[in-house]
Chain A
């Protein structure tokens, strides 16, 4: 046994060590795995193995020795979690450390050292003296930079491992070790190795204390090596380098900041790179400086303040954007942004000495710009360079003030009073004109105020009041407010008014107990804003800006839960805005009113509740007016209100808990209105309002809970049944509805459509009767309602409902015999009796019922589908029979064919997830599988005239174009000939253009799929002939375009299957080049190029 193991073991060793070409790398790997398995399972011991391998480890043949050592090393790597005797580890590490001198077999030695050094102490690790031996051998024998890339990487890993796991050993070596690292990393170029070297330096700096003489003496050398990599930049970029660059740059930054000893070298280098012309280098240096500030000692940095400031100033002055728009201005300018971040950091860091801030405040450029503010008279007259300078200075002041309370104090002391006075004086000058306001003052003031607002936090407030800036702001507050208000109201330039509004908004956003801005100021601002909203609606830009400001103030109050301010906001803004909805004042556009009110409402639930009440009232008054006299103005208002309700209010309430009342009250309110208004104006022909109201009703009911839905349903049903014309009588003649009845039945349908599946529906029978009756009136919403009902009612009452509907009503209308099997002939007979409208409507109703059943996955859907299919297929046999005229029959047949479109396509109006439809997954595929075999067989057998065939194709096209492509591709083999036939037949009639287009899209989908292409290859001839015809389809441009695109896609097929069609296709395309539509022509050029080049060797260059 033992012998056989040894033999196999030796065999494996031989396989691995053998370097001749007879062994493939995979074989060698397999033998390595096998040996590792033997070791791990204790079948052989490490000692035994080493003895077996002795010859390979010591032979004088360099290649075999190298392989042998590598094998041992790899095995150790794989057994890294297996316990090994300390003694064995010791002798092994001695061996490997020794082997480091053997440059011909170095790889194995490196791997082995690394594997042993990484072992944990509890499973046998090397001692610190062993580590020392490895380090010594490493230092004596290795010239890292002369090795290959992978070996270098291993070397760095060994160094890293030494520092991580044996810090004491490393510490004891001091100078020597630092020197070795310097030597090893000097001149490294490979990105992966570089990442390791940067980490090495960082780790080294962490390991040695700052005072350590060895690190100090080598700091300059180390930094010189590191510094040459900055900024990280690839000269030969390859696709994915960006992430790698980021990673390297980050590692280098950490290395730079690893010890303050680098500071004297790093800062000058970074400053120098700041003046580089490369923007990326600038950004990098700024980032590094910002990061290093934290790590280096502050007092050392202070000496560098002057050069830092002057370069930062240059950067900001030259790279600040020159457009001075209020609001979000800090964008797209990374260099300036990073520079400003650094400025702020520097100020924050020397908060005690304020030396950096003094530099800014005493700077000649800054002061000059501030002095010049009085020269900028009119915004348009300011030169672009001056604008840039103004923006830069303003931004510098902004970040400086926002840095800390102390810096804010200093800035306010030195510049603020001057600014406000400047602003004030321009307001009072005799020749004051709104356009002539000195923009600079306004601009810088607002910027400083923004900075202040970042300093104030709602949680800690009182102690701030004694600060200088607060007292100053307090004294200037009235002045500022009046200036801003004046600017907002009187200026004609957007930029002025926006800046003014922004200033006011900031003043109003301070927390209530922040005393510098008094409550009266806050209220004054709100009053001004509200007056702009109600009066200045002609100026759209300022109106929207003020509204946004109000909304922001409102939501800030809500967020900080500021009861004092909330009360003011309540009285001044909300109370003023609410009456807008019901006021008769027509000067302000109603859409603006609705928009303003709903936006304000969204800031706070409290306001929203009020607004909802107001909205409800406004909707019902407008509806009433419309019902009474068909007032088109009221109709328009009601529509705007309803749209706002559906689009804004209801979605907003969906995120609020306990919201059920709102939609329910809305729905009930509308029903109440209908109940109260029995008199309707006769000719209300505005269908749009009815549709909007229905949509509103659907959304509202859909967002109610089951209980509320029952309440609404009860209410609706009571109103419905109180109206006499809905009472079901035996005659079952189609009823004529008055306007009011039309509203009632439509809204009732909306309620039914939006019900949840679990909502209890009482009076199912009556409801079904009423709806089916309405259906016979060709009332489409009733068809939707019927479908929804069948989709949602519980299983046990479904059977009964089916019976009621089919047997008693639909079939009765169809003059049938009460059998559940709905006979085609019966339906046909009824055509003659009742007129065709009824039958068409019933087909549509049936289609929706079918859709409802199909979506819930009910068996009965088969009956409905069977009915449709029988009708379509049997047409040919009876076509000569009882039909009165073929045209009439065509209409009905078309309705039946189109019912497949209803069944398969998604609808916005009903039976979707928002309206709580029961949806079983893959229902479309199921229908596809159910219908296709029958239709396929029928159409193959069919020898009926083209009109009937075309109807079958119509149905097939509907099914195919709505089925997911993956299902189609699975059946593509059978479908392609059918689709091509369908395209040919359907394209003869221009009315079918949408169907043709949808079908063509499916074909193009198949063409771009790999499996689909294989099927197309078998039908190349027919497909190309069909497409060639469609290229000239005159009824729809999209069809022509898609047909040409399909032809282009055909060139991807195997050469042998398409080349013979080349002349034909090229001829077609040369005619298509003359198409009336430009996009078709362009498509044709592309396609022609593709086809022309398939057989020409010279065209693929």
Chain B
């Protein structure tokens, strides 16, 4: 690729320890263990950045606080922060998040993905694109995009 990187020098933070949940005391109880932001965070934190061999967590694109879940209404809202204002990768990151969540959570959940307010120059347009079903389907039909997304989701380069 001859083009330069969009953000050549991102700030990389350490990976946080995975929080291990307390052992299941009541293996036989039928208590419902509600879906919480940590569940979602554990699934999306390791998605690789489209540009760098670091996870979204390491680049502080995502944090546990940026995720909200409402299980009753079956809604998930993820707000992520692109590393720089003009990041053209924001849409790819959003796409990755959506595909990953679609694979890992029941289909009846409605997923909203947004960039954090003020973190992107083209905030409105990006948000609109990220939540447009038809454009998402179209994007996934594009073999190049599909490959890029798959690489981000299943890469073991981290």
B43 (CB) vs chain A CBs: closest residue: A1085
- B106/A1098 in contact, CB under 8 A: no
Binary contact readout B14-41 vs A (1 if CB under 8 angstroms, 0 otherwise): 0000000100100110111101000100
Which residue of chain B is the closest to A994 with respect to CB atoms?
A: B28
- CB-based contact B154/A1076 at 8 Å: no
> Which residues from B are CB-within-8-Å of A1101?
150-151, 154-156
Q: Is the interface of A mostly helix, strand, loop or mixed?
A: helix
Question: Which of A57-65, A729-737, A1067-1075 contacts its partner?
Answer: A1067-1075
**Chain B proximity of A989: nearest CB distance (Å):** 15
Q: Which residues of the other chain, B, contact A1077 by a CB distance below 8 angstroms? A: 24, 33
Judge if A1038 is at the interface, Cβ distance under 8 Å: yes
Q: Judging by beta carbons under 8 Å apart, are B155 and A1073 in contact?
A: no
A1088 and B99 CA atoms in complex are apart in Å by 13
Q: Which of A993, A1034, A1079, A1098 contacts B24 (CB 8 A)?
A: A1079
Cβ of B147 under 8 Å from chain A: yes
B30 & A1092 in contact (Cβ 8 Å cutoff): no
Q: Which residue of A lies closest to B146 (CB)?
A: A1098
**CA of A1098 to CA of B152, assembled, Å:** 12
Q: Which residues of B contact A1074 (CB under 8 A)?
A: 106, 108
Nearest Cβ on chain A to B72's Cβ, whole angstroms: 13
CB of A402 closer than 8 Å to a CB of B? no
Once bound together, how far apart are the Cα atoms of A1085 and B106, in whole Å? 10
Q: A1081 in the interface, Cβ–Cβ < 8 Å?
A: yes
- Residues of A close to B4: CB separation below 8 A: none
Q: Chain B's nearest CB lies how many Å from the CB of A994?
A: 10
In the complex, A1099 has a CB within 8 A of chain B: yes
| Known A1073-B105, A1073-B106, A1085-B104; contact A1078-B150, beta-carbon cutoff 8 A | no
How far, in Å, is B18 (CB) from chain A's closest CB?
12
Within 8 A of A (CB), among B119-158: 146-147, 150-151, 154-156
Interchain CB contact (< 8 A) of B39 among A1037, A1081, A1088: A1081
A: contact size bracket: 20 to 34
Is A1036 interfacial (CB-CB < 8 Å)?
Answer: yes
By a CB distance below 8 angstroms, the chain B residues around A1036 are 27-28
Which residues of chain B come closer than 8 Å to A1093, judged between CB atoms?
Answer: 154
The answer to whether A1085 and B103 have CB atoms under 8 Å apart is yes
Given contacts A1101-B151, A1101-B154, contact A1092 B103 (CB under 8 A): yes
Shortest CB distance A1000–B (Å): 15
Chain B nearest CB, measured from A913 CB (Å): 30
What CA separation (Å) do A1070 and B106 show in the bound complex? Answer: 6
Chain A nearest Cβ from B86, distance in angstroms: 28
Q: Is the C-beta of A1089 less than 8 angstroms from some C-beta in chain B?
A: yes
Asked if B155 and A1078 sit within 8 Å, CB to CB, the answer is no
Structural contact, A1098 and B147, CB atoms closer than 8 A? yes
Check if B118 is an interface residue, CB within 8 A of chain A. no
Residue of B nearest to A1077 (CB): B33
B143 nearest in chain A by CB position: A1098
A88 to B31, CA, bound (A): 91
Alpha-carbon distance between A1088 and B35 when the two chains are bound, in angstroms: 18
A1076 touches B30 (CB 8 A): yes
- What residues of A have a CB within 8 angstroms of the CB of B156 in the complex? 1101
> Contact partner of A1037 among B27, B107, B155, CB < 8 A?
B27
Q: Are A1089 and B103 in contact (CB under 8 A)?
A: yes
Cα A1070 to Cα B154 in complex, Å, equals 19
Chain A residues near B32 (CB-CB < 8 A): 1076
Kindly provide the distance from the CB of B30 to the nearest chain A CB, expressed in whole angstroms: 7
A1099 near B106: Cβ-Cβ < 8 Å: no
Bound complex: CA of A1038 vs CA of B24, how far in Å? 11
Q: Name the contact of A1078 in the complex, choosing from B30, B33, B103, B146 (C-beta under 8 A).
A: B33
Check A1099/B154 contact, CB under 8 A, given A1070-B106, A1079-B24, A1085-B103: yes
Instruction: Please list the 9 inter-chain residue pairs (A to B) with the smallest Cβ-Cβ separation, ordered nearest first.
Output: A1074-B106, A1076-B32, A1078-B33, A1085-B104, A1073-B106, A1098-B150, A1101-B154, A1077-B33, A1101-B151
In the complex, 16 of the A-B residue pairs with CB atoms within 8 angstroms, ordered by the A residue number, are: A993-B28, A1034-B30, A1037-B27, A1037-B28, A1070-B107, A1071-B106, A1076-B33, A1078-B39, A1081-B39, A1098-B147, A1098-B150, A1099-B150, A1099-B154, A1100-B154, A1101-B151, A1101-B154
New A-B contacts (5) at CB < 8 Å, excluding given A1076-B32, A1081-B39: A1076-B30, A1076-B31, A1076-B33, A1088-B104, A1101-B154
Q: Which residues of B contact A (CB under 8 A)?
A: 21, 24, 27-28, 30-33, 35, 39, 43, 103-108, 146-147, 150-151, 154-156
Could you tell me which A residues sit within 8 Å of B by CB distance?
993, 1034, 1036-1038, 1070-1071, 1073-1074, 1076-1079, 1081, 1085, 1088-1089, 1092-1093, 1098-1101
